[in-house]
Amino acid sequence: MRSLLVFGVCFALLGTTAFAQEEAMPPLEEQSVEEATSLKALRQVQTYMDSVTSLKADFRQHAPNGNVAVGTLYLERPGNVRFDYTDETPFLIVSDGKTLNFVDYEIGQVTKWPVKKTPLRALLGTSVDLAGVQSHIELGEGMLEGLVKLHARDPDTPEQGEITLYFMPDAAQPSGLGLIGWEVLDAKGEITRVELSNQTVNTDLDAELWTFEDPRGVAKRRRNRR
């Protein structure tokens, strides 16, 4: 269950020279309206990923078992992220750019993964990183018109699941899109959803956010998670 929590909250993308699928698309005049619209959305996502270098936001996490947790997200590309829970959830998720740490203060345990081996690779990287995670765009329709979904899955680690980033039009962003949240589909077919609100982008973040107090050997430590 803890691994599901990690990749749900842990738990947003491609330079034109790195995205092989884009090179294979026909010239614009030969594309259908749908293809041209998808390509435009992809370019907007690329611009978002490269122009939004840091992010602070409130998050709300919905776990597969129905549990809801809230907190503050700090993100700095490439690779840094911190999920601070503001309720009684005794966990911390933090990455220093290379290693994603899942810190359990209740039992005094730290579990580590290389960031590049988790679904968060798509969320924490720049546009170039999309080339290695089989990313593709899907557009919303009807009442969801304007919604842009970017699906990403690492073909080398399919057991880690698939992440879908959700964007909506946002005139305040350089790309015209803003990240509103994401979902992680794990190998068991279970979904963890994260929603973002009250966002501040391209703000200075303290380097200490990417560190944590190691709880190993200290029982029942819940707070002072730096």
Q: Which domains does the chain have, with CATH numbers?
A: 2-210 (2.50.20.10)
Burial class for 125, CB neighbours closer than 10 Å (0-12, 13-18, 19+): buried
Please name every residue paired with 113 in a beta bridge, in sequence order, or none if there are none.
100
Please report, for residues 23, 131, 154, 212, the alpha-carbon distance to residue 134 in angstroms, rounded to integers and kept in the order given: 14, 7, 6, 32
DSSP state of 102: E
- The tens-digit pLDDT sequence of the chain (226 residues) is 444 444 444 443 222 223 333 334 444 454 566 777 888 888 888 889 999 999 999 999 999 999 999 999 999 999 999 999 987 888 999 999 999 999 998 889 999 999 888 888 889 987 767 666 777 889 987 778 889 999 988 777 777 788 999 999 999 888 899 999 999 998 889 999 999 999 999 999 999 999 998 887 654 444 444 5
**Given this model, what pLDDT does residue 6 score?**
42
83 phi, psi to nearest 5 deg? -115, 105
What distance in Å separates the CA atoms of residue 148 and residue 112, rounded to the nearest whole number?
Answer: 31
What distance in Å separates the CA atoms of residue 11 and residue 151, rounded to the nearest whole number?
Answer: 15
Answering whether pTM is above 0.75, one says yes
**Given this model, what pLDDT does residue 179 score?**
96
What distance in Å separates the CA atoms of residue 119 and residue 152, rounded to the nearest whole number?
Answer: 8
